[in-house]
Structure 1
Amino acid sequence: MELDATFWAFVALLIFFAIVIALKVPGMVAKAMDARIAKIADELAEARKLREDAQALLDEYEARRKAAEGEAEAIVAAAHEEAERLTAEAKASLEEMVARRTRAVEDKIAQAEAQALTEVRARSTDVAVEAARLLLAEKVQEDGGTLVDESIKDIAARLN
């Protein structure tokens, strides 16, 4: 009889099953599954407890929400009263601010008028000085030589 690959594969399969049974693998698998089942049961119990706690919290928050709604209505009423009071104050403040700004603008206009007057006077002075300079320059051109001679004589007299 000739031993082919199928025979040896069958022998290897039998050896594999013998090793698996010898090492008690099915028992280990059963033990792992039992541990997993116990863990899942514990998680279910914990989930049930968490659900009960969540329901209690939901009931508590519902009661708080109702109380908060009543409180919110009171706050809204107080806010309306405060808004009316602030509106009246703002109106009075606005009228005062308008009056204050009007006075400030009038003061600025007065300052601008005074500054314009000062600038006109300064400009007039500059124009007068320039006109005098032009007249003197013209006079110096006409009588320049005479003025220089007189100045030299005057300086010579003062030096002696």
Structure 2
Amino acid sequence: MRYLTALFVLVASPALAAGDDAPKGLFNPSLGNTDFVVLLGFLLFLAILFYFGVPKMLGGMLDARAEGIRSELDEARALREEAQTLLASYERKAREVEEQSARIVTEARANAETAAEQAKADIERSITRRLAAAEDQIASAEAKASRAVRDTAASVAVAAAAEVIAGGTSATDQNKMIDEAIEEVGRQLH
């Protein structure tokens, strides 16, 4: 403040001595000169601003704002990097899931083919067993029928022989009855 007062006295002293006849203009130091008074007021205003540290405060505010912007930019970069990392992770996981699903489909197809082949082999074995069982049943039935025909033929032959022996039939009649019995047995066999 002392410096300001001294400056004011130095600048204003020639102006007070000059009076009203002094020339007008910025370089005419007189309190009657409005340009000079405005200049002094402006200089006084600047001095007050510097005295109270307004430029430092403004600089500090601007520095704080710049630091805030810098930190926001750093945070944005970090978020961007994190987002890129997450994106890469999700893309990698998507590829892994796709590969896994392809493996599952391949395995399922292979299992289905194996199961189909196994079922086909089981059906073929079952058909073979059933055919063999049917052939055995047919052979058994043929054997049974053949035995039944033989038994019937034997019964007929015995009955015919009994009639021949008991009845005293002629030889031609006996031959005829034997031939009929043989034909009957032949028909029953076929």
TM-score bucket (shorter structure): 0.3 to 0.5
Which structure is larger by alpha-carbon Rg, 1 or 2? 2
The higher-RCO structure (CA 8 Å, 6+ apart) is 2
- For normalisation by structure 2, the TM-score amounts to 0.34
Which structure has more helix as a fraction of its residues?
1
